[in-house]
Amino acid sequence: MSTPSRIGPNSIIQTVGSLETKYGKKPTEELLKKMGQGYLINNLPSEMVEESKFHSLVIALQKEIGEKVTAEILRESGERTAKYLLKVRIPGPFQAIVKLLPAGLAFKVFLFAISKNAWTFAGSGEFTYGSKPSPNINVKVTFPSQPVVGNFYLGTFSALLKELVNPNTSVKADIRKDKGAILCRYACNI
């Protein structure tokens, strides 16, 4: 039996933080309890977590507050995760160099660097990127979840690309279920 895939704790930390921003601390705690996620109250992870924990949170959120609000929460969670990565995980000298490059080259260099640690957010899924016919990022979620989870990646990639590649970057998402997986395709206008 293989060990479960793990992902970064920010998937959960920032999602709970986004809920607290929207609803307040006490209502968020009540919501977490109601959804069967009460174990997260005053117990947010500080190290890598089994991807099942994040996906079960996503599924519970969609069931309880609906797809539209869950999408908003997850997108903000992704943006918050990007801020954390820029502050703590992506070295300053690397950020400075990438920002000096032309947008197309910056996209390739940055995504190449991300691909080396893609397991930290893709878990058991897959991460790919390309520049033809135009810049694109793809995440295939193979762990059982809901397509709304793609909004977490949308928020993260949008914020990172705006900060490191081009502040005018826009990202268009195409997120759908396909043969038991969730395909998240992001067309990037850099």
Task: Give the model confidence (pLDDT) of 101-114 as tens digits.
Answer: 999 999 999 999 99
Give burial (CB, 10 Å; 0-12/13-18/19+) of 132.
Answer: exposed
pLDDT at 80: 98
| Average pLDDT value for the chain | 96
Hey, where are the domains in the chain? Answer: 6-189
| Owner of token pair 């396909």 | 178
The pLDDT, as a whole number, for residue 155 is: 98
SS3 108: helix
Compute the average pLDDT of residues 7-32: 98
Query: May I ask the CATH class of domain 6-189?
Result: alpha beta
Percent of the chain with pLDDT over 90: 95
List, in order, residues 6 or more apart from 69 with CB less than 8 Å away.
none
Question: How large is the average pLDDT for residues 128-156?
Answer: 95
The rounded distance, in Å, linking the Cα atoms of 183 and 20 is 29
Does the pLDDT value for residue 40 go beyond 80? yes
Residue-level pLDDT at 83:
97
pLDDT tens, position by position, 46-94: 999 999 999 999 999 999 999 999 999 999 999 999 999 999 999 999 9
pTM for the model stands at 0.95
DSSP H helices in the chain: 10-23, 25-34, 51-65, 67-84, 92-100, 103-115, 119-122, 150-164
Query: Is residue 2 predicted with pLDDT exceeding 80?
Result: no
Supply the pLDDT for residue 1: 58
